[in-house]
């Protein structure tokens, strides 16, 4: 079953750390969001393989937007 990783805050994608096909473990940093001049790491909630990255560096995101899909 796929797990969708959502933005917990409104901000912009500062850096993408993992790409499609990368294997992740729980708490691995997938990407970094920037909000209010702070960098907020987005971590994998589970182990799996990155199946989709739905954002690019510099994209604006809203709270609840799906950023990455892990399966």
The pLDDT of residue 48 is 98
Number of domains in the chain: 1
Q: How far does Cα 49 stand from its chain's mean position? A: 13
Give me the CATH number covering residue 21.
2.40.50.100
The pLDDT of residue 1 is 85
Domain housing 53: 3-70
Q: How far is CA 3 from CA 20, 34, 35, 43, in A?
A: 14, 23, 24, 12
What CA–CA distance (Å, rounded) separates 45 from 49?
Answer: 12
The pLDDT of residue 36 is 92
The pLDDT of residue 43 is 98
pLDDT at 8 over 90: yes
In tens, the pLDDT along 18-69 reads: 999 999 999 999 999 999 999 999 999 999 999 999 999 999 999 999 999 9
């Amino acid at each position: 079953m796929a797990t969708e990783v959502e933005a917990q805050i409104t901000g912009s994608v500062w850096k993408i750390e993992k790409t499609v096909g990368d294997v992740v473990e729980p708490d691995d940093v997938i990407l970094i969001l920037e909000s209010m001049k702070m960098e907020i790491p987005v971590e994998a909630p589970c182990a799996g393989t990155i199946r989709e990255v739905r954002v690019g560096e510099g994209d604006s995101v809203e709270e609840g937007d799906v950023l990455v899909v892990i399966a």
